[in-house]
Amino acid sequence: MPELHVRTVQEEGWGGFENGQLLRRAADRFDVLLTADQRLRYQQNVKQFDIGVVVIETVDTTLDNLQRLLPRIVDAVDRVKPGEVLLVS
């Protein structure tokens, strides 16, 4: 498994930002934005940002549910290219 450095929106102090602002800020510091916000891909033109986006499609974000998806999430994070959205479900 590749080494990943993960930061949350809250850790970055970005909790109040809308998706466009979040993508702009994240693109300056990260390679991939991982989100459970399924609306982001419809609300934003991700192609204009220099960051890949991985969207987790799930009923809930409980730890047990996310742990089951972890191999697929890691694979998507490894494969996603800047300006691209990959879905994990």
Give the model confidence (pLDDT) of 22-69 as tens digits. 999 999 999 999 999 988 888 889 999 999 999 999 888 899 999 999
Q: Does any domain span residue 4?
A: no
Provide the 3-class DSSP secondary structure of residue 34. strand
Q: Does any domain span residue 2?
A: no
Look at the chain and report how many structural domains it folds into: 1
CA distance linking residue 14 with residue 27, whole number of Å: 13
Nearest to 29 by CA among 11, 56, 16, 47: 11
CA distance linking residue 8 with residue 12, whole number of Å: 6
Look at residue 3 in the predicted model and tell me its pLDDT: 77
Residue numbers of the domain that contains 16: 9-88
CA distance linking residue 75 with residue 28, whole number of Å: 22
Note whether 12 and 33 are within 8 A (CB). no
